[in-house]
Chains A and B, each alone.
Chain A
Amino acid sequence: MGAQLRIYRRRIRSVKATKKITKAMELISASRIVKAQQRVNASTPYANELTRAVTAVASFASVDHPLTSFEPNPKRAAVLLITADRGMAGAYSSSAIKEGDQLIAALRQRGLDAKVYIVGRKGLSYYKFRDRAIAKSWTGISDNPTYASAREIGQELIKAFIADSATDPDGVAELHVVYTEFRSMVTQEAMAKRMLPLEVVESSGPAGLLPMYEFEPSPDSVLDALLPKYIEARIYNALLQSAASEHAARRRAMKSATDNADELIKSFTRKANAARQAEITQEISEIVGGADALASAMAGSE
């Protein structure tokens, strides 16, 4: 076997092995998307009920709560950036990071410093490599987020929010979250949203006509207990959507990797066949040439 042919065969073997891996990763991600979607759906009733309750209390006359009020002169804003723990997911993490950079630039234009909280190893290493300040980070949860981790993140952020940003170096005046919204299997979009101060949407129409509520024990203490839960639920929802998006992005990236491997195998097979054919042709012409030379030598000696 000639050297050329051997090299092609070796490359075909290696591409085939890679293809098996990417194919397996594609299938794993495909099955995980379904699970992640189910979890998003399972968390929806809670989120809906909570939103209904928050709207009911917040539109109830004059509740003045630190979580719904704006600070007069804000200094700092917190940004929660949700990225993946692992790569191999195409542009998933980098587009979330880019969205975060845009948000931070926009905040800076308004004269606010950004305090960045990061979920996921990818975002963490991006910030570490560039020597940027990180307020706090959580890793190992992006794949399969639990409510407990959402609560931990929420409590950390609320603590920073309650502190006054003008006087306390740890305090923030606003709370933003950057996550990847899961629209469908094929569309996911990185987006930034403000979580705090709450924008209480005055719903219109007859559906928005909220009844007078009785509060137990009092409107203030209900709001006190309700708002942190609301933030936690929002963070939980963002984590779940990001996880679903991550799996979808990984599935797509691995699918195109598998397709590319197929292409490569095809073209290498063609080249290997051509090389083999060239070898055979050369051998035949050598034999024919050799026989010819022998024959003419014999003819000359006679």
Chain B
Amino acid sequence: MALRVEVVTPEKRIFSGEASMVRARTLEGELGILPGHISLLGVLVDGEVVVKETNGQSTTFQIHGGFLSVNKDRVSILGEASD
């Protein structure tokens, strides 16, 4: 089982794919999401979002202000800007 991950900003979709784990930092602290996570909506603080893809490769995104939403192994990260 894997997570379907989307990283989007208003201007474009940055990443879309399968991942085994997603790590992000919310207002309450660092958060790791594995398959089977409960539905969640969180506010992200500026910082790194790490997506560990199913092929073992991990990708890091710098996100400035945004959200994280998890629903049935579907993870969406909405950043206002990223680089």
Contact = CB atoms under 8 A, between A and B. Distances in A.
B69 A49 contact: yes
Contact of B38 (A43, A47, A214): A214
B27 A236 contact: no
B81 to A, nearest CB: 8
A227 to B, nearest CB: 11
Interface string A230-268: 001100100000000000000000000000000000000
A56 B43 contact: no
Interface of B: 6, 8-13, 26-28, 31, 38-43, 67, 69, 71-72, 76, 78, 80-81
Contact of A45 (B8, B42, B43, B80): B8
Given A45-B8, A49-B76, A147-B10, A215 B40 contact: yes
Given A57-B41, A215-B42, A217-B43, A43 B31 contact: no
Contacts of A221: 27, 43
Nearest to A222: B41
- Chain A interface size, as a band, is 20 to 34
A211 B9 contact: no
Given A49-B8, A216-B31, 17 more contacts: A42-B11, A49-B6, A49-B76, A52-B76, A53-B67, A56-B71, A147-B81, A215-B41, A215-B42, A216-B27, A216-B41, A217-B43, A221-B27, A222-B42, A222-B67, A225-B67, A236-B10
Contacts of B69: 49, 52-53, 56
Contacts of B27: 216-217, 221
A46 B8 contact: yes
Given A42-B12, A43-B10, A50 B40 contact: no
B40 A214 contact: yes
A9 interface: no
A46 B78 contact: yes
A47 B8 CA distance: 9
Given A213-B41, A214-B40, A216-B28, A45 B72 contact: no
Given A53-B67, A229-B67, A46 B39 contact: no
